[in-house]
Chains A and B, each alone.
Chain A
């Protein structure tokens, strides 16, 4: 089961780009990298998922180097409303052949955005 390591907290200011890096040294061949966002008193919300290179959607970008041992979530021009906990997860997306590889949320990164 691939473990992940990410910073406990990060601070930023409105309008800046924020990059949160996650380490996953023992990622398996079938594993994908997924990021979730959680606001206080709410359930986590899926942000982005990728396998290699770069993935971009309307919310964020995900950069994955060739060795896939780390990944970086990039949030362009953050605002106060981006203050949340961000979780990096690694796992096989196939619920059955994943061999019971349960997604582990870990402690996440608390991002605080200020004016």
Chain B
């Protein structure tokens, strides 16, 4: 298996633009997580899905952030409009069944908002 796939790996955009980050979880995993990592705040859980259904989105910082999982093999995290403080590395992770302590992380998307 190729592992969790994220795209793009790097994104540079200007303030106010819409940003869409994509994730393909490991086949067979039915839980998916979006994290954000910065030097100041560390690794923060934004939202997680189980069987494509959002379970907890309390970590989503603002209404500018939204996430979808239309099917078991694809998820998106959208920021609209983006702001410089959104600059961070965004990780997607997936896990098998309900045992979400063992998560498999993707390589991350480094987002820079100018």
Q: Which residues of A contact B (CB under 8 A)?
A: 32, 34, 41-46, 49, 87, 89, 91, 93-96, 98, 100, 102-108
Query: In whole Å, how far is A52's beta carbon from the nearest beta carbon of chain B?
Result: 15
**Cα distance, A98 to B99, chains bound together (Å):** 10
Write out the residue numbers on chain B whose beta carbons fall within 8 Å of the beta carbon of A44.
43, 91, 103, 105
Stretch from B53-61, B70-78, B80-88 at the A interface: B53-61
Query: In whole Å, how far is A7's beta carbon from the nearest beta carbon of chain B?
Result: 15
Q: Which residues of B contact A (CB under 8 A)?
A: 4, 31, 42-43, 45, 48, 50, 55-56, 58-59, 91, 93, 95, 98-108
Are B42 and A106 interface neighbours, CB within 8 A?
A: yes
Please give me the residue from chain A that is nearest to B4 by CB atom: A43
Are A34 and B98 interface neighbours, CB within 8 A?
A: no
Write out the residue numbers on chain A whose beta carbons fall within 8 Å of the beta carbon of B98.
93-96
The majority secondary structure among interface residues of chain B is: strand
Write out the residue numbers on chain B whose beta carbons fall within 8 Å of the beta carbon of A46.
101-104
Write out the residue numbers on chain A whose beta carbons fall within 8 Å of the beta carbon of B45.
102-104
Knowing that A46-B103, A102-B45 touch, tell me 15 more A-B residue pairs with CB under 8 angstroms.
A43-B107, A46-B101, A49-B102, A89-B101, A91-B101, A93-B102, A94-B98, A94-B99, A95-B55, A98-B100, A100-B55, A102-B56, A103-B45, A103-B103, A104-B45
**Cα distance, A4 to B58, chains bound together (Å):** 21
**Cα distance, A58 to B42, chains bound together (Å):** 28
